Amino acid sequence: MGKCGCEFLSTHLYNLKKMYKADFTVVNGENSAVGNGISRESAEVIFSSGADVITTGNHAFHKSEAADMFRENSNILRPANFPEGAPGNGFCVVDFGRTQIAVINLMGTLLMESLDNPFYTADKIISSLDTPNIFVDFHAEATSEKKALGFYLSKRVTAVLGTHTHVQTADEAVLEGHTAYITDAGMTGAEDSVIGFDKGCALTRIKEHFPVRFKESESSPFICGVSVEFDEKCGKAVSIERIILR
């Protein structure tokens, strides 16, 4: 979330990967650019910090350079259920030699934009993959839609990890003994804020219903996320652990 989130990630991600012995890292860059969306600058910071894949969401195309970025780099994803013809890809497969890992980026439709059905989009993509190691970033507003997709894809994917609301939830679990799940992985950005934005601006906007330009909070940042351990031979998640680093 914003400049401070990117800077904090670049300072701490390497040590986090070392601590959790992480072989593969996915970062949602939905709001990494100043304002929102993703820019060349913020994507470069995220990749140089140690991310293998960047996912996005409803702000995917808010920066003018985003469309070209999605075309040029297959490891920067936009939601797969965007209309046909949208620039870029909604999923990718990373080859590690001994194994392959797929990442699918989907967006919810409840209380959000009217896109293609994410459930059927997931079915179509999964049927085309040759690896059991499948991670899904479900960028959605409604907790019910996220949980429903988690159960819908249970035993078919390694993990369904929710993003978008910026607030980490405490419902991490391995569904049906196979699929790691959390409703929202949380955000990396200013902790003493309203989902990353300055408290004063947010309060004026929400309380007074007065149009105010949001600005990024300047308070101390933190990192939220999850660590998933899985069996690369069958794609079965062994554990999921929430991460909070201040």
Question: According to the model, what pLDDT value does residue 10 have?
Answer: 98
Domain limits at 161? 2-245
The pLDDT of residue 83 is 94
What pLDDT is recorded for position 213?
84
In the set 59, 139, 166, 178, the catalytic residue is: 59
Residues in CB range of 25: below 8 A, 6 or more apart: 13, 17, 50, 51, 52, 53
What percent of the chain is predicted at pLDDT more than 90?
94
Residue 11: the pLDDT is 97
Instruction: For residue 48, give the CATH number of its domain.
Output: 3.60.21.10
* Residue type at position 58: N
Helix or strand holding residue 68 (H, E): helix 66-72
Whether 59 is catalytic is: yes
Work out the burial of residue 208: count CB atoms within 10 Å of its CB; fewer than 13 is exposed, 13-18 middle, 19 or more buried.
Answer: exposed
Per-residue model confidence (pLDDT) at position 173? 98
Give residue 211's pLDDT: 86
The residues with which 132 forms a beta bridge, in sequence order, are none
What is the signed CA dihedral for 188, 108, 228, 217, rounded to 10 degrees?
10
- The answer to whether the CB of 168 falls within 8 A of the CB of 244 is yes
Tens digit of each residue's pLDDT, the chain (246 residues): 999 999 999 999 999 999 999 999 999 999 999 989 999 999 999 999 999 999 999 999 999 999 999 999 999 999 999 999 999 999 999 999 999 999 999 999 999 999 999 999 999 999 999 999 999 999 999 999 999 999 999 999 999 999 999 999 999 999 999 999 999 999 999 999 999 999 999 999 899 998 888 889 989 999 999 999 999 999 999 999 999 999
Residue 212 pLDDT: 86
Across the chain, mean pLDDT equals 96
Look at the chain and report how many structural domains it folds into: 1
